[in-house]
Structure 1
């Protein structure tokens, strides 16, 4: 089982595509169309690869939840990369700065960006193939899984 897609309602489709094209240069528009969502017209795009995609709909209104707040809602989602520095460079090149650095961990490095719709996106590069090391947090002891 794996996560196939995440459906995000946004206000600016072009800005979102600019961000995600920089993060995932191998992704493409898999499908797109127009429809209606409870009486409001919308354009939708499926942007991804053959296995995973983002479903983006452009009928969003208002602001996303405050990331520093305590409102119920999506906190962030994360993508694994083999080259975090390259992802950061591509996003920086199109005008996006790291929103916050990740924790200092011995077996992974990560950063957080905020996309144009206000969703926080984590990018993580693992430095170990051992699950117990990959999942280790500094404030938790390493557990030997038999």
Structure 2
């Protein structure tokens, strides 16, 4: 079993595509369309590869959850990369900056960005293939 997609409601589809195209240059718009969602018109698209994607819906209203607060909601989601430096470079060139870095860890490097809709996205590069090392939380050390 694996995660296939995350469905995000956003206010600016183009800004989201700019961010995620920089993060995932090999992804593409798999399909898109229009319709109604809970009585409101929406444009939607699936941006990803053949195995996983982000479902983006453009009918968002209001602000995303305060990432520095303690409100219930999505804290962040994460992607594994083979080169965190490449991800940072691509996102920086697209105009996005690292919002925070993970704690120093001998088995991983990680950084966080906030996408245009206010979702925090973590990118992780593992430096070990040993599961016990990769899965060791820096909070438990």
Q: TM-score by structure 1 length?
A: 0.94
1:23 aligns with 2:23: yes
CA RMSD of aligned residues (A): 0.8
Instruction: Find the aligned partners of 1:58 and 1:81 in 2 and give their Cα distance.
Output: 27
Deviations 1:19-51 (A, max 9, x none): 000000000000000001112110000000000
> Unaligned regions of 5+ residues in structure 2, if any?
none
SS in structure 1 opposite 2:140?
A: coil
Q: Give the C-alpha shift of residue 139 in structure 1.
A: 4.3
SS in structure 2 opposite 1:91?
A: helix
1:68 aligns with 2:68: yes
Q: Give the C-alpha shift of residue 126 in structure 1.
A: 0.1
Instruction: Find the aligned partners of 2:83 and 2:15 in 1 and give their Cα distance.
Output: 24
SS in structure 1 opposite 2:20?
A: helix
Bigger Rg, structure 1 or 2 = 1
SS in structure 2 opposite 1:88?
A: helix
2:58 is matched with which residue? 58
SS in structure 2 opposite 1:79?
A: strand
Q: TM-score by structure 2 length?
A: 0.98
2:78 is matched with which residue? 78
Corresponding residue pairs, total: 141
Q: Structure 1 segments of 4 or more deviating over 3 A?
A: none
CA shift in 2, pair 1:101/1:48, >3 Å:
same
